Chains A and B, each alone.
Chain A
Amino acid sequence: MARLADGLKVVTANRLDSGGAVWFGADDGWQPTIAAAAVFEGAGAESALARAREAALRSGVIEPYLIEVALAESGPRPRSPREQIRSHGPSVRTDLGIQAGQQP
């Protein structure tokens, strides 16, 4: 994976049972929307990832990783189009996915 620039990050992963996307929250738990994700910076991001990996093993979550975000009014917004779509749902079916209040 390319080295991420310094900047704001969140940790994300997938649930083992449903494959749904989740984000690492302020209480070291896993949240179903990115709005509730805890935002980290610099060395804090790396240690958050380490904690997330521990938490993942205990809580049925797979392979956490860091993504870059910017802060928007609605909360953290991913910089990459892939993670934007992943945090919302398919752009071509706005009736499906997180954007429609659904979890797999």
Chain B
Amino acid sequence: MTELHAGLYHYDEIDRRFLAERVEQFRRQVERRISGELSEAEFRPLRLMNGLYLQLHAYMLRVAVPYGVLSATQLRRLAAIGRKYDRGYGHFTTRQNLQFNWIRLVDVPAILDELAAVDMHAIQTSGNCIRNVTTDQFAGAAADELVDPRVYAEILRQWSTLHPEFSFLPRKFKIAITGSPHDRAAIAIHDVGIRARALAAGAVGFDIFVGGGLGRAPYLAKALREGLPEADLLAYLEAVLRIYNQYGRRDNIYKARIKILVHEVGITRLREQIDAEFERIRGPKYRLDPEIVAVIRGHFAPPPFETLPPEPPADAAAPAGDPGFARWVRTNVTPHRQPGYAVVTITLKPAGGIPGDASSEQMEAVADLAERFSFGELRVSHEQNLVLAHVRRDELPLLWQELGRHGLDSANAGLIGDIIACPGLDYCSLANARSIPLAQQISQRFADPERQHAIGELKIKMSGCINACGHHHVGHIGVLGVDKHGVETYQITVGGSATEDAAMGVVVGPAVGYDEVTDKIERLVAAYLDWRLEGERFIDTVARLGAKTFRERVYGPAA
């Protein structure tokens, strides 16, 4: 029932039986909660393991989008659920999932039924368990890819699903995997980050990193194991999770992630423990059979590309006289490994819009476009945008026009208007400050597309609290909202990066009030434009000159 050529895992009767059983299990848990048999304290972890949060206005349901891939049919179903059970829109998150904000607990069993009908669910999108394994939104398409990470993301998704030993961890556990040396999956800020590559003799292997994470104590992941053979992937991760399950702190939720274990024990000692456990576990039981990998890989076979002539360089492909199209190609179109094809990013960041939100109508429009232009397949990126991964270059102008009809043609991927923002205090009960309206204000201030293009790549990431769901630590410009005596106050950082040259941003100066943030960002941009050398992006100029140099321009001379 899902599209034949869409590059996602196609369920069989066994998977569907599992999903049906899981839905039925949750239905009973809801009934036992409503009847009072389960207390809230007992029910809470169970509902979290089905992605259901209680937030400011209602329950929020976080639907899993495994490694960010969706079929057109699935996206249409999400649109329909949004219309029927929510308020006609959804929010794409920084972990490639989709959130509905106005859900009633009593509707959730029915919603899960409707999701299951298209092989979707909300399993383990919350709770102290292994969460959605995320990956590169250009997987299987990007020209610079060495290994398709979706294959292993799917293997890890299955392995981690209702894992009997690892469903009650000290805290949540997030895994990301990249198959390209250019890391679009932000592996450095995950509990486990995996870089898939070719080992000697062309076999697939993995570099494993551990202990990345943001929040109160941000850390970049450290190298744990290099060149792990494919067959050892599950055994090694079992070892990592077992050590974490046993030794991760349970006395303090703010110190319970594996990054704290790495910090407290030290990577050398931790590696010894994990390697020792791995040697104990390693054996036929946990061996990842190449036959199984081949079966899973078969689900991600390239779609039936046409044989097309190799394309001219991107800029030269712009139809004469349309600067809007040229701008869009420059930012939103990425080279594809298949001649004649391209990867298209649909940013959900219109000027003044709510970052990452899409109405049910827009979702249906994108589903139609995915069907028409990209073999029925689309992806969600951790930057809260959508991707059509396999578009014929000669169809780009038509696609662009269609996107324009639905307000989805913003030519700002990776530019200052492409802001990543968490829902913040407008929705989230953890937040201390609002993030969305500030993002709207900033994107409105920089709405002019020519201006955005003149500035170039500049990733602003905004969080409404220290939990950092907006990944502010790794924004080129990061904005963190805090509550200072009941007043929304914002700390601005520069120099963060979530790619293969990952770095944490550095504070530029004292925190400022809501009304001053956009101005400060203007000053940062103005300073950059003054100081930049030929070809330097904002992040490069910051690296060259340092955050302190920017401080004076932004805040005025020190007293």
Contact = CB atoms under 8 A, between A and B. Distances in A.
A79 B34 contact: no
B462 to A, nearest CB: 13
Residue of A19, A57, A104 with most partner-chain B CB within 10 A: A19
A17 B104 contact: yes
Given A91-B437, A92-B440, A86 B56 contact: yes
Residue of B54, B433, B437, B483 with most partner-chain A CB within 10 A: B54
B398 interface: no
A80 interface: yes
B425 A85 contact: yes
A104 B102 contact: yes
Given A16-B105, A18-B105, A104 B57 contact: yes
Contacts, number: 78
Interface in B409-436: 425-427, 429, 431-434, 436
Interface residues on A, range: 20 to 34
Given A14-B54, A79-B486, A104-B58, A96 B102 contact: yes
A82 B56 contact: yes
A20 B58 contact: yes
B26 interface: no
A97 B483 CA distance: 23
Interface in A63-104: 63, 79-82, 85-86, 89-93, 96-98, 104
Interface string B212-240: 00000000000000000000000000000
Given A90-B427, A91-B437, A104-B102, A19 B483 contact: no
B429 A17 contact: no
B179 to A, nearest CB: 37
Contact of B57 (A17, A20, A60): A20
Interface in A22-68: 57, 60, 62-63
Contacts of B434: 81, 85, 91-92
Interface residues of B, number: 31
A89 B56 CA distance: 8
Contact of B354 (A17, A18, A92): A92
A11 interface: no
A92 B426 contact: yes
Contacts of A97: 57
A53 to B, nearest CB: 12
Contacts of A96: 57, 87, 102
B103 interface: yes
12 contacts: A16-B105, A17-B104, A18-B105, A19-B58, A60-B34, A81-B488, A92-B434, A92-B437, A93-B426, A96-B102, A97-B57, A104-B104
Report the 10 A-B pairs with minimum CB-CB distance, sorted nearest first: A104-B58, A19-B59, A90-B426, A19-B58, A18-B104, A86-B56, A92-B436, A17-B106, A104-B102, A92-B426
Interface of B: 33-34, 36, 40, 54-59, 87, 102-106, 354, 425-427, 429, 431-434, 436-437, 440, 483, 486, 488
